[in-house]
Structures are given as C-alpha cells and as structure tokens.
C-alpha cells in the first residue's frame, strides 16, 4: 500500500491546482488504479497522463487515454499501474476545444511525418521536442491497406490522432465502383477498411484519398476518374458506418518557383475537387529550396483564397500543411538554412499571425528535409510555441 498511499497524497496536492477538474478519490485494485473526480465539464475533452517522476515537465509525461467528461463533470477512470515502478503519478490535461473535425478554436495542431511510423521512430522524433505531436501522418501504397494495422490501433487506443493516406488502387478507374466499371476486389478492400475504421468509434481518423493527385493525372487516370474514385470510397464508408472519418483533400506544393509543373497543375485543381460536401479540410505540401518556407506557404495560401469559388469553396475549409519541410529533392540545406526556416515559421505563426486559416502543420522528417542536429532546438521552439500548443492570445 505504501506506493499507492504516497501517490494518493501527491496526486491530491498536485490536482488542487488543476481546478476546475480534480481527482477526489484513488482506489488500487489488482494491477490497476481507479481515479475518480469532478468539475470536469468546462472543457469536455481531456487526456490522462502518467509519469514515474513528478518533477518531469508535463509535456514529457505519457498519454494513457483520451476521454470526454460526462455532462455532470464527474469521471471514473481505470488505468494500469507500472509493476516495475516504485511510484506512479497521474495527471489530467484538458485539450483545446476542437469541433467534430478537429479544428482547434485557436492556434494549430502539431504533426509529424516520420520515415517509419513505428512507435520507436515516433518516440525518437518526439523526444527531440519534449512533447507529443497532436497528429501523426501515415501513408499506404495502392491496394495495400484493407484494415487498421496493429500499430495504428495501438496509437488510437492510446488517444493519438492519425492522418492517414489511402490509395485504393494504382489506377483510379479500378476504384470508381463496380457500377461504373470498377473492380470488385477494390470495392471489397474498401469495404473491409471502412468496417475496420467504423470499429474504432467513437474515435476518429483523418483520411486523405490519394494525396497529391495532380502529379498522377494521366498515369493513374483522368481527373473525372479521381473524383469518381473519391465519391465511391466515401459512399462505401458511409454505407458501412464509417462516419468517424474527417475527409482531407491534399494537393502538391503550389509554388511555381519550387516546381516548374506547379503552374500547370493549378489548372487541374478545380476538376480534381471532390465537392464541397465531401471534403472537411484542404491541405497542401510546401517545401523550401530556392525561396523561404514562409514565402512558399504564402504563395499557396493566397492562391487558394483568391481562387476559391462557390463550387470550389476552398476558402471556407480549414487549411493544413499535410507535409512541409526545409529541403526537398536535390536541395539539401545546411543547419543554418534549416534554422532560419524554423525561425521564419515561429515568427509567421506566433508573431505575425500570417496564416490564420492553417490549423495543422505536419513536418516531413525524411531525406532532404530531415531535421539536422543543429536545427532541432529551433524546430522544438516552434513546436512548443503558443500557436502550436493552441494557446489563445498568441
């Protein structure tokens, strides 16, 4: 009992300062601890964090679950104890208010794209910045994803948010639906995936149906086939109860200076739009090489805003950077160049409020854009800045 009683006293002292939500009772049962509390109705969504070291900054504690306070504010949680620890502490952390599509009321969500999405790689990335990312990005190759993986389920069960990219088939015409000449196999695979995702309710995921499609017009199919593919996937998901999906449209870098093809790609975008009611977020993938990263982002941001129309209503959707990086293709930046880019991002999001519609930023830590040793501190400053920790009034 010594460990639990010690934890109980410290928990009580710790949570008096965390009003309005606070623990009122702790019970040890077998290998679990039951935490009860009250006053949790002012902000309904919260995380349960744990640590064996009370002196660690809370950003270094481990998230064990994500929950929603009931209407009366009382809560009762069962959490596993670490059998190897002499003491263990638990904390409640209310989450920024998000609507049903994960759009924060202020600031932006922080995300990362790691070369490998296993927990060790993600943990190594997050250890550099001393906090967890809000949203993890995971890719799937054509026809390879028919159910959530064990790793994905583990992330979701731990309360992590995922941004997933699915490519139903290497050819869009195979995924337009059987009635339109598509493949029975592809529809069956999408049905399996939809049922798997429906099985995680009430948890949600963000889903991109074929990222950067303008790059594959011709080789993968026509723009009309891309849109029909999207509609078919959406119809299959809806029919199988996968209504817990946040639908994201992700296009390429929109800066002609960075890609000679971008100007011509822009003309394709209206015909690649799945429709206002079929998309929740608009995302794109900016990278810095010959110009600054914030100039690159501004180019795409302004283009989307000024070219939005009633039928392609991009301006009334939240924006996200599904990938971004300082470095791309054959341009490998120095640490000083990366540092400069990270500081530009800090200023743009925290001081200038330059991109108020951008509500998610996912750094792509791979190849040319991999964060260099001497640039990690500056990226960490950005990742822990007021905007990226969703602190209002930044």
Helix (H) / strand (E) containing 66: strand 62-68
Of residues 294, 300, 227, the one with CA closest to residue 259: 300
Q: Mean pLDDT in the chain?
A: 86
CATH architecture of the region 2-94: Sandwich (2.60)
pLDDT, position 84: 72
Reported as a single tens digit per residue, the pLDDT across 119-136 is 889 999 999 999 999 999
The C-alpha R_g of the chain, in whole angstroms, comes to 22
CA dist., res. 138 & res. 234, Å (int): 19
Q: Which residues of 71-86 are buried (b: 16+ CB within 10 A; e: fewer)?
A: eeeebebeeebeeeee
- Name the stretches of the chain with pLDDT < 70: 1-21, 30, 39-47, 57-60, 63-77, 93-98, 255-262, 392-394
pLDDT, position 40: 58
Sign of CA dihedral 236, 238, 242, 247: positive
pLDDT, position 114: 86
Classified by CATH at the fold level, domain 109-383 comes out as TIM Barrel (3.20.20)
Q: Where do the structural domains in the chain lie, given as residue ranges?
A: 2-94, 109-383
Reported as a single tens digit per residue, the pLDDT across 143-184 is 999 999 999 999 999 999 999 999 999 999 999 999 999 999
pTM of the model: 0.78
**By three-state DSSP, how is residue 144 classified?**
coil
Reported as a single tens digit per residue, the pLDDT across 348-373 is 999 999 999 999 999 999 999 999 99
pLDDT, position 6: 38
């Amino acid at each position: 009992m010594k460990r639990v009683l010690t934890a109980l006293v410290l928990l009580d002292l710790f949570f008096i300062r965390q009003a309005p939500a606070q623990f009122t009772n702790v019970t040890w049962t077998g290998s679990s601890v039951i935490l009860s509390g009250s006053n949790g109705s002012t902000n309904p969504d919260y995380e349960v964090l744990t640590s064996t070291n009370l002196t660690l900054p809370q950003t270094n504690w481990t998230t064990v679950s994500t929950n929603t306070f009931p209407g009366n504010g009382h809560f009762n949680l069962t959490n596993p104890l670490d059998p190897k620890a002499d003491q263990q502490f638990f904390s409640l952390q209310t989450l920024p208010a998000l609507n049903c599509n994960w759009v924060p009321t202020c600031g932006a969500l922080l995300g990362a794209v790691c070369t490998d999405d296993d927990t060790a790689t993600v943990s190594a990335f997050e250890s550099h910045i001393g906090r967890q990312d809000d949203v993890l990005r995971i890719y799937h190759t054509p026809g390879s994803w028919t159910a959530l993986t064990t790793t994905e389920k583990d992330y979701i069960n731990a309360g992590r948010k995922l941004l997933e990219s699915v490519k139903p088939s290497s050819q869009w015409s195979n995924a337009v639906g059987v009635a339109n000449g598509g493949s029975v196999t592809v529809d069956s695979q999408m049905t399996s995936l939809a049922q798997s995702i429906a099985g995680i309710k009430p948890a949600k995921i963000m889903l991109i149906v074929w990222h950067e499609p303008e790059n594959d017009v011709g080789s993968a199919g026509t723009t009309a086939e891309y849109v029909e593919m999207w509609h078919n996937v959406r119809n299959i998901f809806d029919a199988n109860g996968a209504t817990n999906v946040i639908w994201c449209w992700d296009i390429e870098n929109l800066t002609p200076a960075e890609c000679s093809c971008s100007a011509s790609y822009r003309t394709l975008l209206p015909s690649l739009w799945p429709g206002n009611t079929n998309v929740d977020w608009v995302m794109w993938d900016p990278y810095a090489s010959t110009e600054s990263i914030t100039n690159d982002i501004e180019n795409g941001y302004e283009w989307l805003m000024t070219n939005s129309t009633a039928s392609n209503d991009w301006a009334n959707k939240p924006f996200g950077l599904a990938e971004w990086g300082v470095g791309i293709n054959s341009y490998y930046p120095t640490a000083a160049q990366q540092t400069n880019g990270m500081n530009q991002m800090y200023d743009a999001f925290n001081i200038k409020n330059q991109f108020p519609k951008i509500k998610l930023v996912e750094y792509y830590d791979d190849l040319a854009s991999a964060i260099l040793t001497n640039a990690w501190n500056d990226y960490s400053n950005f990742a822990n800045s007021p905007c990226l920790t969703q602190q209002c009034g930044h």
